[in-house]
Amino acid sequence: MSGVIDEVLRPADLAQALALLAEGGGRRRPIAGGTDLLVQAKEPGAPPRGLVDLWGLDELRGITAEPDRIVVGANTTMTEVLASELLRAEARCLWDGCYEAGSVQIRNRATLGGNAANASPAADSVLGLIALGAEARIASVRGERRLPVEELATAPRRTALAPDELILAFSFPRAGGRSAFARLGQRRAQAISKVSCAIHAQLDDQGCVQAARVAFGAVAPRVVRSPGAEAALRGHSLTDPSARAAAAVAARADTAPIDDLRSTRAYRSEMVGVLLTRLLVRLAGEA
Amino acid sequence: MSQDWDTGRGSMGEYDRFRVVNRSRRRVDALKLALGKGTYTDDIAHTIDGLLHLKVLWSPHAHARIVSIDTSEAERVPGVVLILHHGNVPRVPYTTAGQGHPEPSPYDAYVFPRKVRYVGDRVACVAAESELAAARAVAKIKVEYEVLEPVFDPRRALEPGAPLVHDEEEATGICGYDKSRNLVCEMKVEHGDVDDAFARADVVLEREYEVPYQAQCPLEPHCALTWFDEDRRLVVRVATQVPFHSRRILARILGLPLHRIRVIKPRIGGGFGSKQEILLEDLPALVTLRTGRPARLFYTRQEELRSARTRHPQLLRWKTGANRDGTLVAQELEVLANTGAYGAHALTVQSCTAGKTLPLYVAEAYRFLMKTVYTNLPIAGAFRGYGGPQGFFAMECHMDEVASLLGMDPAEFRSKNLIGPGSENPLAKALGEGKEGPPQRIRSCEIQQCIARGKEAIGWERRGTFPQRGPLRRGIGMAALMHGSGIPGVDMASASIKLNDDGSFNLLVGATDIGTGSDTILSQIAAEALGVPLEKIVIYSSDTDITPFDKGAYASSTTYISGMSVKKACDKVVEQLKDAAWEMWQHAGDPCERSSLRHEDEHVRRPDGKALSYAEICLSTFYEHDQHQIMDHASHMSFECPPPFAAHFAEVEVDTETGGVKLLKYVAAVDCGVPIHPENCEGQNEGGAMTMMGYALSEDFVFDGGGALLNDTFRHYKQFTSLDMPPFETILCLSYEPSGPFGAKSVSEIPTDGPGPAIANAIADALGIRFRKLPITPEDIRRAWRERTEPAASAS
């Protein structure tokens, strides 16, 4: 038995949207592009639900450059990310993740907020946000709070969001540095990642890594960071083969892939190292 | 070889005279489809008053006896009108395979079985006022099952003591059918002294290959609408490739006189063989018969993937004997095929696995051993290529392996042994459609040209020169191919054509355009034969009340068989036009020689320059003199089955670190005789090859331990998309087939035969590793590469 959507509400503004969610007592879900929710609604056992349609809320849309931070509204679509020269220049790992995600049609509807709130372990845009050190601005009628993006998802399709909470925007520091994203899928478009990796690295004058953030998709119950890989890179040149190898080994230790429809545990575990190594080569400008 | 055998080369001059065929004209249905006005089966559903919506309850078990069905709670769901199941529907054994009569497939299916045989088998069907009500009621049907041990492995299915998939007495079959062993059919075919030939061969190579399930995935799922017309005749509007077979088989399973049924084929959104089945129209038909109300059934994509039809998985063993000089001596093929829960197309698909492949290479002796078995897995059936892709994957990988053993260039080795013009097909008689087939001799054959031009296009000389270092490795592979054009001695098509008073013609054909472009090419053939522009042909295809019979859209038969029926009907109408013009001139006191008349440019012309237009002739024959309707019809059946030939080439780049395969270029050089519509032929090649690139690299059926398909949505079943397509070059290598309309042979299935072996051979060239099982996944490649390069690491 497929789920039934029995109520679609279109709030005029954010305040109304938050009120509608609060009144829903947990049976209303926010919907933006619908690329995940509408598919899930067809799954057996999906509960009947009301939807609060955020698509018309332009206050949640847009990419803003502040002196120290970049703020991306939760309603921003992947296509809008790809149209942003700012993000391409300063948030390449996010831009690349959106470039590789879904298809043209999906990218036209899929939003960054939706991709994060869906809490898929393979969410392509979430890796970049985590690597960039982004935090989510979250609101409800009860007030606002901030949460690092890496703490947003807790398990597949589970988040730290309360039922009445909405993601308003993501914000991350304009710290400079280099970043990149790569993924492996079953084919070139519309294929959920088998493994994905994003990295952001801050380099000093000698080209040594001052700080790095490394995120992996589809190799754990949620998108995860690899503290081991980050530590292995710190203080080493991106071109240092032993640092690269140590990071790859540490990354494999920090991830826990499984066998599923798309791939195998063994392959994924090996590709964690391969993708990270390739991104390090790319960041070093060797490829 | 017979010297007087017409290989068509003498007729090549006709090329220069073609005006409509051999030209890429705008498809006759292009505009309406581009404007979204093409009306598909389900597009009229919203206009039908009182329509009942159907939903099916599918079996959750791979193998179980239905002990009881309790519909009482389901019947109480508001809007439910009727619930059908094995307890209230007559049990008539039949086959869902949409083939000619008598169908060469076992009669092992029932509208509702008492025993379910795979996850996705029919249990019950609800008709309700809305789809939602029907779905709610389906969820409330209570079924008690006696779960039985299933059998999934085709090897195990044949073992003594294996669970029996069809243990009920009604099921019958042909060609070795033995349900007490799960055996659907068996073939043993020999030509020449096989054992002696192998004994004399310098080298003998034997290898095993394996190919998986594959889903046809037509964009338009299976769907049907049924209603009573004003005369209480049953109208069936269905997405089908076989409207006439649908009418015949429906009459049988519904117990209705055939003349009380009309089957209409509207625009069809692709079939690829899956719609060569009487798959679902029996259910809405039953609902209309029981309730008097219109009814609708429309499969979801999940139902399509679980419960429609698939390509037969096979285990193949290929054995070749050859001499050191590169001459083939003997070939042996053994196939163990899995038809799943029912035997639709089981015999004929597997017969084609040998029939399309083995004769391509000349040898002294051949042996073909085949068994097809039941398992408790999804049902296999017709799928574009029809056994060819399975056989060509094994044979064309094997030919590369034999060439390598002999130290020969694979293209050269093939060229040395290929069939050619005038060759007899030694296996044609033994591999008929469930009976002895007519003998076959090759007339048109440009396979050597296909290989030569394909080699040039792919850059074959670069093969073996790519650097053997770094993570990215390149390789080039090829496959030589042949297919057929219709089923010889069986397939018949007919057409009728009549003249209108503006010189236009109505062309009625039973041929079924399912998106293939056959309405266009049949119109082109008519226009060429009649000497009129394409716009003067008004075509209408396949409605069992209106159009003459056609076997349907399958077996690569439409251009060759249906096309010839159109040409013959038009040739007869041309004679009538000339008779009428001669009579008009005679009547006007201006006589001429009947034999001197020519037809061209919509006129009948005399040598002295006088001419009568088709419009003038029609007006005269309608209203003025010797009044009659100029019209005729013709049927065509061929004892010949001229194969199209092709050579496919793939260049790949394999990422040895990730196991990823990137297709860099694909070349399909094909001899389909005279291409009636060259652009459409290119489209057929691109589409057919694309379907099979997924078969080679990304598509597979993944089952859970209970036999349920896990990747039953497009989220998880991964066909190739346009983004995955490499640069693709189709090369049309012209020949002239004397037995085909304007020299044409088939083109639609042969492109499906090539990508599996061409890509596998390219990967083998790139890595030096031979993969004998499809699909070749990054996981497989990576594992094999590790074993090759880091034996110690992979052992630990």
- List the domain boundaries for chain A: 60-173, 178-283
Average pLDDT of the segment spanning B241-263: 97
Residue pair A21/A164 in contact by the 8 Å Cβ criterion = yes
Residue B689 inside a domain? The answer is: yes
Residue B655 inside a domain? The answer is: yes
Q: Which two tokens stand for residue A193?
A: 């990642």
**B636 - beta bridge partners?**
B493
Residue B516 inside a domain? The answer is: yes
The number of residues in chain A equals 287
CA distance B79 to B51: 12
CA distance B103 to B240: 17
Residue pair A82/A95 in contact by the 8 Å Cβ criterion = yes
Last residue of a domain, one of B583, B618, B637: B637
- Is residue A46 scored above 80 in pLDDT? no
C-alpha B600 chain-centroid distance: 36
The residue segments making up the domain with residue B541 are 492-637
Tell me: cis bond preceding B775? Omega within 30 of 0 counts: yes
CA distance B90 to B110: 9
Which of A36, A40, A106, A187 is the best mutation test for B, with the most CBs of B within 10 A?
Answer: A187
Tell me what pLDDT residue B3 has.
43
Residue pair B678/B520 in contact by the 8 Å Cβ criterion = no
Please tell me whether residue A180 adopts helix, strand or coil conformation: strand
End-to-end CA distance of chain A: 50
Tell me what pLDDT residue A175 has.
84
Residue pair B663/B651 in contact by the 8 Å Cβ criterion = yes
Nearest CA-CA partner of B650 in B419, B413, B394, B410: B410
Interchain pair B132, A4: CB under 8 A: yes
Residue B155 inside a domain? The answer is: no
How does residue B432 score in pLDDT terms, banded at 50, 70 and 90? confident
Give residue for tokens 């033995």: B178
Interchain pair A186, B718: CB under 8 A: yes
Last residue of a domain, one of B610, B637, B664: B637
Which CATH number characterizes residue B374's domain? 3.30.365.10
Interchain pair B718, A191: CB under 8 A: yes
Partners of B74 on chain A (C-beta within 8 Å) are none
Lowest mean pLDDT among A112-116, B293-297, B439-443: B439-443
Q: Which two tokens stand for residue B667?
A: 């070349």
Interchain pair A267, B132: CB under 8 A: no
Partners of A106 on chain B (C-beta within 8 Å) are none
Nearest CA-CA partner of B277 in B552, B23, B560: B552
CA distance B298 to B148: 30
Handedness of CA B655, B658, B659, B662 (dihedral sign): negative
Which CATH number characterizes residue B292's domain? 3.90.1170.50
- Pairing state between β B52-58 and A158-159: unpaired
Partners of B782 on chain A (C-beta within 8 Å) are 267, 270
Of B139, B710, B778, the CB nearest to A1: B139
The total domain count for chain B is 3
CA distance B109 to B94: 5
Compute CA distances A265 → A191, A258, B657, whole Å: 18, 4, 16
With a threshold of 0.90, tell me whether the complex ipTM lies above it. yes
Tell me what pLDDT residue B17 has.
87
Judgement on whether residues B535 and B680 belong to the same structural domain of the protein? no
pLDDT one-digit tens code per residue, B385-426:
999 999 999 999 999 999 999 999 999 999 999 999 999 998
Judgement on whether residues B87 and B122 belong to the same structural domain of the protein? yes
B601 phi and psi angles, rounded to 5 deg = 50, 45
Partners of A2 on chain B (C-beta within 8 Å) are 135
Share of chain B above pLDDT 70, in %: 98
Share of chain B above pLDDT 90, in %: 94
Fold that domain A60-173 belongs to in CATH = 3.30.465
Partners of B724 on chain A (C-beta within 8 Å) are 187-189
How does residue B793 score in pLDDT terms, banded at 50, 70 and 90? low
Nearest CA-CA partner of B436 in B264, B639, B617, B261: B639
CATH of A178-283, one of 1.10.10.1800, 3.10.129.10, 3.30.390.50, 3.40.50.300: 3.30.390.50
Nearest CA-CA partner of B403 in B725, B698, B4, B764: B764
pLDDT one-digit tens code per residue, B720-739:
999 999 999 999 999 999 99
Compute CA distances B635 → B34, B241, B548, B638, whole Å: 33, 19, 9, 10
Tell me what pLDDT residue A3 has.
60
The type of residue at B584 is M
Residue B47 inside a domain? The answer is: yes
To the nearest 10°, report the CA torsion of B422, B427, B431, B437: 50
CA distance A86 to B91: 69
Average pLDDT of the segment spanning B490-513: 97
Average pLDDT of the segment spanning B353-363: 97
Of A1, A39, A266, the CB nearest to B136: A1
Last residue of a domain, one of B289, B307, B325: B307
Which of A2, A39, A106, A186 is the best mutation test for B, with the most CBs of B within 10 A?
Answer: A186
pLDDT one-digit tens code per residue, B146-159:
999 999 999 999 99
